[in-house]
Chain A
Amino acid sequence: MIGPAALFIGVFVLIPMALTIWLSFQDWSTQTPFGTARFVGLRNYHDIFSQLSVGRDFKAALRNTALYTALSVALLLPLSVLLGLLVHQRTVPGGQVLRTILFASYMVPMIAVALVWSKLFAPTEGPLNQILGWAGIGPQPWLSSPTTALYALVLLNVWQQIGYFTVLAVAGLTQIPAPLYEAARIDGAGPVQAFFGVTLPLLRRTLLFSTVISIINAVQVFEPVALITQGGPAGSTNVLTYHIRRVGIERSDGGLGSAMAVTLMLALIVAVTAIFALYRRGDRA
């Protein structure tokens, strides 16, 4: 009975991937039939890593995506564990309500999130700067400066995704047998020692899953960029998915866009493989 599944995967996964890889070696306008594609060898790959503007833009988008992803993961994982520890305590009043509120942010459509956050970040009348003002901190440029715009988008991403990853962390925490904490307590372990000696090691599988999913989500970031910053200012939020859309659809350069997509896919495969390798090495240690 593996046949239908294999057919499904072949049609909807492997063929599009193979087609993208094939197109990455062609000069092809996305608005013309595949038959018009002209083989150009490695030229597209050469161009996206060259000093031409197309190469500089691609490399900058790659760096922006890597930074956005690294920061998102670095904030999401510890925060989700911290919030998970808080809300999974059944004895804490309002834990259920808190879980619901946290997860609600994940369900809000991105268009609504983008509208609200672009106003929150507004440099003059934005509430965030007003709150900072009460604390004696001067107004921040948020989305209006190339030095802060990407970080502002990371904040938005963390806000939206934290509920989902907290739910994952809570699911992981509920799998940890209570007697282990009891044994740790009898051995004289305090809450901090129990966290590092029991909770964290037994959350490793959950954290592995969360890491991989948060990386994939972050690499695929598109809507907030398209809706709020348009890749600016000065290209500081031009991430790869948005850039590929610009090149592949707006400029209809399908060959170049495909080469970028393949490079992004390879980078993602390398990153995820490295994470699994680290996890396995940790298991053996």
Chain B
Amino acid sequence: MKIRKALPALVLSCAASALAAQSVEVSYLTHWSPETVALLEAAATRYSADNPDVAITVRAVPFGDLLTTIRSGAGADAPTISGIYDLWLPELVRDGLTAPAPDAVSAEVLAAWPAGIAAAAQVGGTVYGIPNEVNVYALNYNKALFAEAGIAGPPATWDEFLAAAEALTDASKGQQGFGLINSWAAGVVHPFASFLASNGGALITDGVPTLDSPQAGEAFGLYETLVSSGWSVPAMGTADANTTGPFLDNFVSGKTGMIVMANWWESALKAGMGDAFQNIGTAPIPVGPSGEMASSISYTWQTVVSAGASPEEQAAAWDFLQWLNGEGTGENGASAMSDILMSMGILPSRTSDVAAHADVLGRDFLSGYVSVLANARAFPVVLGGQEFSEALQQTLEALEYGQMTAAEAQASIQADAVSILERAAQ
């Protein structure tokens, strides 16, 4: 009888304890695939085991919807943590959507990450995010198609690159030498910026657009040559909202000989190619006529915390992020975040993580990327950067589809870029 009377009280007491135990809810917004989200959820579960007062939920949206979801959910309903592309940070900070990192987090970011990567997480000298992945662009080429075309190795210069593109093109088989991407701003702009960097040029220098440089003119000319010669077929390069689509299909099915892409798409290539993935090689971006050494561009992703979250939620979010990105929370002294990134073939950015994953980073596909990282330039992170990227995308696509000449494209985008950055700075 006593037990029967005590049971409801016990149940209520347990329920109350459980509620009290998970008093802070932290939501995490990402664009990762379900498999990667599962890894993040597993890490969150491990964290919550030691921190029962924090419940973490993960939500994923396609990359194409990520920024819109962050912006449209601003306020109290915003995700507590969002994974963002570094280009978005200045405008999110300007609009008061992201919270500055606490001093302890800020100090760790400045000490444990390379200076260039930590800089991309700062606006006006204040740290707003914890960097996680770093992506760099390199040339991916299909070794089997190269052997078939009698090409000994990857091209090192633009002349060799054009010769290889010509040799790899076989219109009768629907095969193109080099794959250009369209309908996806970063997929269009980053490879172009990489060619430009390898030709000694830059998109923006000290906040001023420099697309009117001779180096940029040569890069626009390179694209014009590829398309007008039929060595690149723009219709084979369409991307969809998930950053997949025909451009990926054509490469994995051996219809495209070369492409310039970042390291993160290793998992997509493996999934699409199976055993044939071993045919894919990675090489530095060929050096242009005005360039002195192979270069490329890099960009980072980071996690930020919503300024609209309550102080308790913010504190819990930063604590979780510090744990997730902290030394020793993953395998072999690496961070839990770096283990998740490495599952996708993405390079971690924390110095200790690079050391902890040295053996994996040495594998064929990734080592090509690691080798170009040292000479890569960070993609410019400026106010108006997203609009600038979209304008450059439009211009490059107009050039690819023959709506503009290289000279017209260069003049048009330089004028647009000046106007966009001036407006954004007002």
Q: Is the CB of A250 within 8 A of B71?
A: yes
A124 to B237, CA, bound (A): 12
Q: Is the CB of B95 within 8 A of A226?
A: no
CB closest chain-A residue, reference B238? A144
- Listed stretches A27-35, A100-108, A155-163, A169-177; interface member: A27-35
Q: Is the CB of A123 within 8 A of B95?
A: no
A52 to B246, CA, bound (A): 32
Q: How large is the interface on A (under 10, 10 to 19, 20 to 34, 35 or more residues)?
A: 20 to 34
Q: Is the CB of B68 within 8 A of A124?
A: no
A122 to B240, CA, bound (A): 11
Q: Is the CB of B97 within 8 A of A124?
A: no
- Listed stretches B189-197, B350-358, B387-395; interface member: B387-395
Within 8 A of B (CB), among A101-158: 118, 122-125, 141, 143-146
Q: Is the CB of B420 within 8 A of A53?
A: yes
A226 to B398, CA, bound (A): 20
Within 8 A of A (CB), among B91-108: 91, 94-97
Is residue B225 contacting chain A, with contact meaning CB distance below 8 A?
A: no
Within 8 A of B (CB), among A228-267: 228-235, 245-246, 249-252
Shortest CB distance A64–B (Å): 13
Set of chain B residues within 8 Å of A122, measured between Cβ atoms: 246, 249
Q: Flag B382-426 by CB within 8 Å of A: 1 or 0 each.
A: 000011001100100110110100000000000010011000000
CB closest chain-A residue, reference B242? A227
Q: Given the known A-B contacts A233-B182, A252-B95, are A246 and B246 also in contact in the complex, defined by CB atoms under 8 Å?
A: no
**Which of A32, A123, A228 is most buried by chain B, counting CB atoms within 10 A of its CB?**
A123
- Selected from A144, A230, A234, the residue in CB contact (under 8 A) with B64 is A230
Set of chain B residues within 8 Å of A145, measured between Cβ atoms: 234-235, 401
- Selected from B96, B241, B255, B420, the residue in CB contact (under 8 A) with A226 is B241
Set of chain B residues within 8 Å of A143, measured between Cβ atoms: 238
A232 to B253, CA, bound (A): 23
Q: Is the CB of B91 within 8 A of A252?
A: yes
Q: Given the known A-B contacts A31-B71, A245-B68, are A230 and B183 also in contact in the complex, defined by CB atoms under 8 Å?
A: yes
A218 to B241, CA, bound (A): 21
Q: Is the CB of B68 within 8 A of A249?
A: yes
Is residue B362 contacting chain A, with contact meaning CB distance below 8 A?
A: no
Within 8 A of A (CB), among B202-257: 234-241, 245-246, 249-250, 253, 255
A158 to B245, CA, bound (A): 24
- Selected from B245, B386, B397, the residue in CB contact (under 8 A) with A234 is B397
Set of chain A residues within 8 Å of B172, measured between Cβ atoms: none
Q: Is the CB of A249 within 8 A of B72?
A: yes
Q: Is the CB of B241 within 8 A of A227?
A: yes
Set of chain B residues within 8 Å of A226, measured between Cβ atoms: 64-65, 241
Q: Is the CB of B394 within 8 A of A233?
A: no
Shortest CB distance A8–B (Å): 25
Set of chain B residues within 8 Å of A52, measured between Cβ atoms: 416, 419
Set of chain A residues within 8 Å of B255, measured between Cβ atoms: 124
A86 to B144, CA, bound (A): 56
Q: Given the known A-B contacts A31-B95, A230-B240, are A124 and B400 also in contact in the complex, defined by CB atoms under 8 Å?
A: no
CB closest chain-A residue, reference B88? A250
CB closest chain-A residue, reference B74? A31
Q: Is the CB of A141 within 8 A of B240?
A: no
Q: Is the CB of B71 within 8 A of A233?
A: no
Q: Is the CB of A141 within 8 A of B235?
A: yes
Shortest CB distance A166–B (Å): 31
A144 to B235, CA, bound (A): 5
Q: Given the known A-B contacts A233-B182, A233-B183, A249-B68, are A124 and B249 also in contact in the complex, defined by CB atoms under 8 Å?
A: yes
Q: Is the CB of B71 within 8 A of A252?
A: yes
Is residue B184 contacting chain A, with contact meaning CB distance below 8 A?
A: yes
A173 to B424, CA, bound (A): 56
Q: Is the CB of B238 within 8 A of A234?
A: no
Q: Flag A197-233 by CB within 8 Å of B: 1 or 0 each.
A: 0000000000000000000000000000011111111
Q: Given the known A-B contacts A231-B183, A232-B183, are A250 and B67 also in contact in the complex, defined by CB atoms under 8 Å?
A: yes
Q: Is the CB of B401 within 8 A of A234?
A: yes
CB closest chain-A residue, reference B65? A226
Within 8 A of B (CB), among A1-56: 29-32, 52-54
Set of chain A residues within 8 Å of B400, measured between Cβ atoms: 234
Q: Is the CB of B182 within 8 A of A232?
A: yes
Q: Is the CB of A123 within 8 A of B236?
A: yes
Set of chain A residues within 8 Å of B387, measured between Cβ atoms: 53-54, 251
Is residue B333 contacting chain A, with contact meaning CB distance below 8 A?
A: no
CB closest chain-A residue, reference B174? A124
Shortest CB distance A32–B (Å): 6
Q: Is the CB of A29 within 8 A of B238?
A: no
Set of chain B residues within 8 Å of A118, measured between Cβ atoms: 240, 245
- Selected from A227, A228, A233, the residue in CB contact (under 8 A) with B234 is A233
A29 to B91, CA, bound (A): 10
Q: Given the known A-B contacts A234-B182, A251-B387, are A29 and B95 also in contact in the complex, defined by CB atoms under 8 Å?
A: yes
CB closest chain-A residue, reference B188? A232
A118 to B401, CA, bound (A): 21
27 contacts between A and B (CB under 8 A): A31-B71, A32-B95, A123-B235, A124-B249, A124-B253, A144-B234, A144-B246, A145-B234, A145-B401, A146-B397, A226-B65, A229-B240, A230-B64, A230-B240, A232-B238, A233-B183, A233-B401, A234-B394, A234-B397, A234-B400, A234-B403, A235-B394, A235-B397, A249-B68, A250-B68, A252-B71, A252-B95
Beyond A53-B387, A226-B65, A233-B234, 13 extra complex contacts between A and B, CB < 8 Å:
A30-B71, A31-B95, A31-B97, A52-B416, A123-B238, A145-B235, A146-B397, A229-B183, A230-B64, A230-B241, A234-B397, A234-B401, A249-B68
Residue numbers of B with Cβ under 8 A of A are: 64-65, 67-68, 71-72, 74, 91, 94-97, 174, 182-184, 234-241, 245-246, 249-250, 253, 255, 386-387, 390-391, 394, 397-398, 400-401, 403, 416, 419-420
Residue numbers of A with Cβ under 8 A of B are: 29-32, 52-54, 57, 118, 122-125, 141, 143-146, 226-235, 245-246, 249-252
Which 8 pairs show the lowest CB-CB distances between chains A and B?
A232-B183, A31-B95, A234-B397, A144-B235, A53-B416, A141-B235, A233-B182, A144-B238
